[in-house]
A and B are shown apart, each in its own frame.
Chain A
Amino acid sequence: MTIRDLPREKYVLPGNAACPGCPETMGLRYVGMALGRRAILVIPAGCTSIIQGLHPGSGLSFPIINVAFASSDAVAEGVAVAKELLGEDGVVVVWAGDGATADIGFATLSGAAERNGNIIHVCVDNEAYMNTGIQRSSLTPKGAWTTTTWRGKTESKKNMPLIMMSHGIPYVATASVAYPLDFIEKLRKAASMRGFKYIHLHAPCPVGWRFDPSETVEMARLAIETGMWVLLEAEKGKITISPPSRPYIDKSRRKPIVEYLKRQGRFREISEELVREIEKEVDEYWSTILKLSS
């Protein structure tokens, strides 16, 4: 697949309410390119419900149901069952942020995964509650400033892809806004499978992470190149590292993680000791996933 093969229909409309350089609208465009008219989105509270703009207009042209924070996967499962009973085609996608996935929506997500409902859950991970003003979530990384962690978060980021793998669902993948073709392929693959599919999309937020809006893609790419974020797929408990992350299995090819951290204002006051600690955690994460991939 190349850029030329991608459909050009617009699912994110110009003049929407997203901030300049928003990674979520980028991601939503890729959902449109991957699934087109088949996609039905279930969106809990979050930045995306703001991006849609005010009634009676919508900045997104997908069929969308806006639901309460903790209900998205249950609603989506219902929609998927209804579509099947009616004999209609459709790919039901939950488009939820890190808070709606790992914190507030977690019980519902876990329940739907356990029942193996036929939906795709995309977690758009911008690593804090950006919509309400940058409060820490359980997916905010260690050392990051937020309005509720003034001196840097002291806890580590929850490992959602591995948690979802433990549910024994057919498909778990990670993606990044810097690698759209990889994300589109994973969405299409997920749509072709039956059961619960989980895709975790890394989405650097210029407002909350404190970097220039022009650097959204650069920041997402640096996360891969430093090994802080790993692109992978997991089927039946076996992990495959995706092509963009493959060179970084070899630690010597990874860029130093400070190159990623120092570019973001949220890590401005991070100590050298903490950088070493984060580096150790990154190495541990890599050795865990490599064990699961052999």
Chain B
Amino acid sequence: MEVGNPLLPLSRPKIGVQGATGSWRFRKPEIDQGKCIGCGICWLYCPDSVIDVEDVGGRFKVRVDYVYCKGCGVCASVCPTKAIRMVSEV
């Protein structure tokens, strides 16, 4: 079956299907890399897959994609070392 066939309403996966959802945000997660122990719990719970982790010497290095992060604050609330702080953007 051909995607793009007008008779078949098939959709393709797309990053940003709802636009740059970072514009919904009014507070922003900021990671204190000094306090971060690289456990990956924020990555596990992030509802929008906007936290990326990279294995660096046996621990996770955490990065937030601010273009799409909606600023819910789940990452800050689950962080065991309080390394993530929600900072107001308004």
Contacts and interface: CB of A to CB of B under 8 A. Distances in A.
Interface of A: 3-4, 6, 8, 10, 12-23, 25-26, 29, 52-61, 180, 206, 212-218
Contact of B17 (A3, A23, A57, A216): A57
Nearest to A53: B17
B47 A216 contact: yes
A14 B65 contact: yes
A22 B47 contact: yes
6 contacts: A13-B17, A14-B48, A20-B72, A22-B72, A58-B14, A214-B74
A6 B47 contact: no
Interface in B46-61: 47-50, 53
Interface in B10-27: 10-21, 24-25
A26 B45 contact: yes
Contacts of A10: 49
Contacts of A216: 47, 72, 74
A214 B28 CA distance: 12
A58 B72 contact: no
Interface of B: 4, 9-21, 24-25, 39-41, 43-45, 47-50, 53, 65, 67-74, 76-78, 86
Contacts of A17: 17-18
B15 A15 contact: yes
A3 B40 contact: yes
Contacts of A15: 15-21, 48, 67-68
Interface centre among B9, B71, B72, B76 (most CB of A within 10 A): B72
Given A58-B14, A61-B13, A214-B77, 18 more contacts: A8-B53, A10-B49, A17-B17, A20-B71, A21-B72, A22-B48, A23-B47, A25-B48, A26-B47, A56-B14, A57-B11, A57-B12, A60-B13, A206-B72, A213-B74, A214-B86, A217-B74, A218-B77
A16 B17 contact: yes
A1 to B, nearest CB: 12
A114 B30 CA distance: 51
A97 B87 CA distance: 33
A21 B18 contact: no
Nearest to B59: A4
Contacts of A55: 9, 11
Contacts of B9: 55
A69 to B, nearest CB: 18
Nearest to A12: B49
B73 A56 contact: no
Most buried by B among A8, A23, A25: A8
A13 B68 CA distance: 10
B14 A3 contact: no
A215 B14 CA distance: 28
Given A56-B12, A214-B77, A216-B74, A180 B47 contact: no
> Among A12, A15, A53, which residue has the most Cβ atoms of chain B within 10 A?
A15
A18 B47 contact: yes
Contacts of B15: 13-15
A29 B49 contact: yes
B40 to A, nearest CB: 4
Contacts of A25: 47-49
A223 to B, nearest CB: 16
B14 A13 contact: yes
Given A25-B47, A58-B12, A180-B44, A214 B76 contact: yes
A16 B20 CA distance: 9
